[in-house]
Amino acid sequence: MSMLSGGVNLLARAEYPATLGVDLAVMIELDQDDLINDRDIEVGVRIVGPTGFDPVEFGGHLGWQASDSWPQCVPAPVPLRELEIPSPGTYQFHLKVAELDEIVIFANATLLDTRPR
């Protein structure tokens, strides 16, 4: 099993607080060893931000039935679009899938310059 990562590195908003406005997409690749048995694994996301942002943690389970068709890629969308971010700064998205190493994706939230040019 392996987890591919990606992300957004810049969030420009005209004012804060603002909604995050993006979702997180995780792609998990399952190989022959993963697919030999039925399985149920734990998936977790922890979001840490600058001062004034209370860390957010949530998780769920991903399961599958044994298969002889491998490898398989499983998309795991994480809906974060409506998450409120209180201020500019660096936000960290910690992704944890079963026994795999945690992946951290960084996003910098900045104030959008809305002055006329």
| Residue 95 near residue 103 (C-beta atoms within 8 A) | yes
pTM here?
A: 0.80
CATH number assigned to the domain comprising residue 11: 2.60.40.10
37-80 tens-digit pLDDT: 888 888 899 999 998 899 999 998 888 888 888 788 888 888 88
Number of domains in the chain: 1
Report cis status (omega within 30 of 0) of the bond before 71.
yes
Answer whether residue 46 is part of any domain: yes
Using DSSP, state whether 35 is helix, strand or coil.
helix
pLDDT band at 13 (very low <50, low <70, confident <90, very high): very high
In a domain, 73, yes or no: yes
116 within a domain of the structure (yes/no): no
Per-residue confidence (pLDDT) for residue 6, from 0 to 100: 65
Closest by alpha carbon to 84, among 25, 16, 23, 24? 16
Which amino acid would we find at residue 115?
R
In a domain? residue 117: no
Condensed to tens digits (0 to 9), the pLDDT of residues 83-105 reads 999 999 999 999 888 888 888 88
Whether residue 20 is contained in a domain is answered as yes
Whether residue 69 is contained in a domain is answered as yes
Q: Is the pLDDT of residue 35 over 80?
A: no
pLDDT at 55 (0 to 100): 95
The larger pLDDT score, comparing residue 65 to residue 20, is at 20
At 29, is the pLDDT very low, low, confident or very high (cuts 50, 70, 90)?
Answer: confident
Owning domain of residue 36: 2-111
Q: Is residue 52 part of a domain?
A: yes
